[in-house]
Amino acid sequence: MTSSLLSGLNPEQLAAVTLPAQSALILAGAGSGKTRVLTTRIAWLISNGMVSPQGVLAVTFTNKASKEMVTRLSAMLPINTRGMWIGTFHGLCNRLLRAHYREAALPQTFQILDSADQLSAIKRVMKALNVDDEKFPPREVQSFIGGHKEQGLRAHEVEAYDPYSRRKVEIFAAYDEQCQREGVVDFAELLLRCYELLSRNQQLREHYQARFKHILVDEFQDTNKLQYQWLKLLAGSNNALFAVGDDDQSIYAFRGANVGNMQELTRDFHVQSVIKLEQNYRSHGHILDAANALIKHNRSRLGKNLWTAEHKGEELRVYEAPTDTEEARFIVDEVKQLHREGVALSGIALLYRSNAQSRVLEHALVSAGMAYRVYGGQRFFERQEIKHALAYLRLLENQDDDNALLRIINFPTRGIGARSIEQLQESARMHNTTLWDAAARAGGKVAGFVALIDSMRNATRELPLPEIVDHVLEHSGLVAHYQNETGAKKREAEERLENLNELLTAATMFVHENEDDSLTAFLTHAVLEAGEHQAEANADALNLMTVHAAKGLEFHSVFVTGLEEGLFPHQNSQREDGGLDEERRLMYVAITRARRRLYLTFAQSRMLHGQVNYNLASSFLRELPEELLHWITPRASQRKTFTPAYTASYAPAAPAAYAAPVPRPASESGWRIGQAVQHAKFGEGVVVNVEGSGTDARVQVNFRKAGTKWLALEYAKLTAL
C-alpha cells in the first residue's frame, strides 16, 4: 500500500510526504502538486499507523479544496472519511462550537450571519443607538468590527483615541450584545469564539491537543493573525504542524492575510525541514523563467526557483495598443484565432487588476458575439429568492433570528408596512426582547405572519429535511408569488422558480452526503457554501476575472491586460508599506496561470472613471528579461515607450482593426500627448497635456515616481525617449 501511495512522486514531494512526526514548512510553488502532497501525506501517516483518521486535522481555505482532499483520500485508502476533521477554518470552528455550544455560551441552534445579514444587523444597532449613518457608513463599521475580530480583539480591547473611534467601539460592543441576545454569530465570530473557548478551557484544549497529533494546513500564506494563533493553540508543544504554502503567492493582505506567518512558523515550531517544491507541472519554460525573474525583485521572500521538465515553449507576446478599445479588439481577434486553432474558449482567461477594466473588454466581446463569463458572479445561495427561502427556514429553526424575520415579514407582500415594522422594533427595544417576541404580542397582519410561521414549524417538526424545504416553499407563498408574475418579470420569475426547485435538490443531496442531515446543519452548509464559486453552466465560454479571482486556476492561454503604471501595479501600492511587493506577487500569480501561451497587453491611453488617462508602461514589463518577450508592436527604442512604430512583423487578419498606433500630432512646441520623456530630476514620464507656444509653451507630464507636474519648456530639462 505504501509503495503504491508514493509512486510517481518526485524527490522533493517524496521527502515532504515521508517526513517523520515533526513540524515542517513545505514551500510549494505554483503548479508543483501541493494538493497531491497534502493528501498523500495524510494517507501515508494513516497507512503507516502513525495516526488514526480521527487524529488528523486538515485545514483548507475553501470548501471546494476540502471536498477535493476528501475525494482523493477516499480513492487512496479504504477508510471512512466522513468522520474526519477536514474543512475550512470557519467550517471546523463551527463544528467544534456545535459540539460545545454550552461552554461557548451559545444556543444549540445558533445561526451564522452572512455578510449581508451582518450588515443589516449593524444597521439595526446603529439605528437603536441613534448613530448618523452618513458620518459612520455601515459598511465601514462592518469592516471595523470584522478587522478587529480577525486580530483577536473584542470591543473592550480596541484602543480608541478620539470621539470618532470611541463611537465605533460603542457600536461594536452593542452589536456583539445584540448577536448574543439573538443567538447568531458572524464569520469572524466563529473563529474568535472558538479561539476564546479553547484558550480559557484547559480541559477542552488538552482534549483536542491529545486528539489531533497531526495538523495539516493548505495555503498557509493566506492565514491571518487569529488563524495562526488558533493553529498554535491546537498544536500545543507536542503536535506536528505541516504547513504548505507559497509566500510568492500571498496576495490577500487586504483581507488580513499575514505572509509573515510563514517565517514565524519556522521560529515558533523550531522547523528544521523547509522543503521546496519547485518542479512545475503546469507551464512551459519561458513562462516560468519570466515569473522567476519578476519575483526576484521582492527582497523579503523565502526563495525558490520554478522549473519544468517540458520544453521552453513560446516567448511571451507583448502588445501595445494606442487605446484601451484597440487593446480589446486585439484580444478578441487573438481569442478567435486561438479558438480556430482548437483551444476551447473555457481554456482562455482575460485577467485584469481592477473590475473597472472589464467594461471595454465586455463591450468588445458582445460586439463580436463571443460567449464569455465574468468569473465570480452571483452565487446560488446569494440569489434573492434563495435567501428568502433560507430566511423562512432560519426562522423555523431559531425564532429569535431578527435578520431572518425582517427579510420575510412582508415578503411575499402581506400588508405589513414600514411603520408596523418600526413599531415592532420599538416594542422589542422597550421590552429588551427579540422581534419575534414583540410580534407575538402584536395583532392584525403581524399576528397572521406569526401564525403562518408557527403553523409551518408545527407541520415540519418531524419531517425529513427535503420535505421541510418543500413544505416551506409551498406554504410560505414564495412559489405562488413567482408563479403569478406576468409581463416583463415573467421570464425572471421562471428562473427564480427553477432556483427554488434547485434548493430542494440541494437539500436532498445534502441528506445523502452528510451524517448530520438536520435543518441546522443544512443552513450552516448554505452559509459556508455562499462564498464558493459555482459555475453557471458547462457551456464553452471565455473567462473574464480579476487577477485575485484567478488564484488557484490555470488556463491554456492567458491575457494579462492593462499593464500600465498606476493600474498594474496599482497606484495605491506606492502609498502602502510592502504594497509594491504585493502587487509584484499578484503579477507573479497572473503569469503562472498560463500553461502554454501568455499575452501581456497595455494601452497608450485608457478611459477610466470617465477620463482619458495617459500612463507609462508597467514597471513590471521592465523586470522581465528581454529575451523572453516577443513584442507584437515593436518599440521605437530599447525602452518601453508610448510611440511604437507599426511594422510588418505583425500582420493580423483584419488590418483595419489594428490601425497603426498613430501619435498625436506634435504641437508647435514639438511635443505631443502620449510621448514618453525623460527629466533630469523627475525621471521617466509621459506627456499628458501641451499648452502655449514659444517661450510661453509648457507641458504637463505624468512622471512614474514624481506624479503629474507642469513644466515650462524654456527651462525644463526634458528629452524625448
Q: Which residues pair with 599 in a beta bridge?
A: 317, 559
Q: What is the per-residue DSSP string for 71-135?
A: HHHHHHSSS--TTSEEEEHHHHHHHHHHHTTTTTT--TT-EEE-HHHHHHHHHHHHHHTT--TTT
Among 352, 356, 359, 336, CA closest to 559? 352
**Quick one: cell of 506?**
440541494
Q: What is the per-residue DSSP string for 616-645?
A: PBPHHHHTS-GGGEEESS--SSSS--S-PP
Q: CA 196, 199, 203, 208 torsion: positive or negative?
A: positive
Residue 35: active-site member: yes
Buried b (16+ CB within 10 A) or exposed e, 27-61: bbbbbbbbbbbbbbbbbbbbeeeebebebbbbbbb
Residue 304: active-site member: no
Beta strand segments in 643-682, E: 676-679
**Quick one: cell of 625?**
528579461
- Residue 163 to residues 139, 158, 160, 511, 565, Cα–Cα distance (Å): 19, 13, 8, 51, 39
CB-CB contact of 368 with 336 (8 Å): yes
Q: How many CA atoms lie within 13 A of 658 on its CB side?
A: 21
CA terminus-to-terminus distance, the chain: 65
Catalytic residue among 12, 13, 34, 564: 34
CB-CB contact of 677 with 689 (8 Å): no
Catalytic residue among 117, 182, 219, 278: 219
> How big is the CA angle at 409 (ends 406 and 410), to the nearest 5 degrees?
115
CB-CB contact of 639 with 720 (8 Å): no
Q: How many CA atoms lie within 13 A of 705 on its CB side?
A: 9
CA 56 to CA 632: how far, in whole Å? 52
Residue 127: active-site member: no
**Quick one: cell of 172?**
461594536
Catalytic residue among 304, 329, 593, 635: 593
Q: Which residues pair with 560 in a beta bridge?
A: 351, 600
CA 253 to CA 578: how far, in whole Å? 10
Catalytic residue among 249, 524, 592, 601: 249
Buried b (16+ CB within 10 A) or exposed e, 466-494: bebbbebbebbbbbebbeeeeeeeeeebe
Catalytic residue among 114, 117, 182, 218: 218
CA 252 to CA 257: how far, in whole Å? 5
Residue 593: active-site member: yes
DSSP 307: B
Cell 416553499, located at residue? 473
Among 156, 118, 154, 114, CA closest to 138? 118
Counting every residue written for the chain, the total comes to 721
Residue 524: active-site member: no
Cell 425572471, located at residue? 492
Residue 123: active-site member: no
Neighbouring C-beta atoms of residue 446, cutoff 10 Å: 23
Active site residues: 34-35, 218-219, 249, 593
